[in-house]
Amino acid sequence: MYQIKEKIAFLERNLSPKRFRHSCNVARASKLLAQQYGADMEKAYFAGLVHDICKEMPFEEQYRLITAGNFAPDFAELHSRKLWHGIAGAQFLLDEFHIQDTEILNAVRFHTVGRADMSLLEEIIYMADMISEERDYKGVEKMRRLAQKNLDSAMLEALRDAISSVMKKDGLIPVYTIEAYNFYIHKSEHSKNSDAVSRPKKGAAHAEKS
């Protein structure tokens, strides 16, 4: 369905060995997360494989793709070249490979910046990119454990780290990323409150019986 062998050959021709290896690692991590959380494993593998398809494309070509109209960047994205490849990748998949699956396109488009209310596949690709086999940044083992335990908690931790890192560099933060953080922090607080309500206080059952 996704012509995986053809896409692997394309990536091998158009990416550096390091980027190609990363793409394959993200594909494998995506498939494992999909298996764990009940998502479509083939779709997850494909989306992970192609998530960086435009990462090493010349900036002039990336700019042409991101301004094509289907996946418009916000102000911060437009002025942060390192964020262009996700938007360009989604447009490239639509234009060149005729991928019509909105979930795949959004997974590629938002794999760097995130957004509020991401689909399960979008979360999987975002996290697989963070925890792929070759990643060795400080805290990656913690991130791997979180991703395997709870995607919402992993997303919140990843967004916290991303925002903190950008702020330290006085960089621009996309509106999508801020909205994603707000969404997942609210979801986390709601979950805690729900647990507190549903969990009876100690002694409550005894008091009702007396």
Domains, the chain, in order of start with CATH, read 4-199 (1.10.3210.10)
Contact 71, 86 (CB under 8 A): no
Q: pLDDT tens digit string along 21-61?
A: 999 999 999 999 999 999 999 999 999 999 999 999 999 99
Q: What is the rounded average pLDDT for all residues in the chain?
A: 92
The three-point CA angle 172-159-155 to 5° equals: 150
Which residues are within 8 A (CB) of 204 and not within 5 positions of it... i.e. 6 or more apart? Answer: none
Q: Cα(180)–Cα(121) distance, rounded to whole angstroms?
A: 15
The pLDDT, as a whole number, for residue 1 is 81
Q: Give the mean pLDDT of 55-71.
A: 95
User: Which of 130, 125, 116, 121 has the alpha carbon at shortest distance from 176?
Assistant: 116
Q: What is the DSSP letter of 69?
A: S
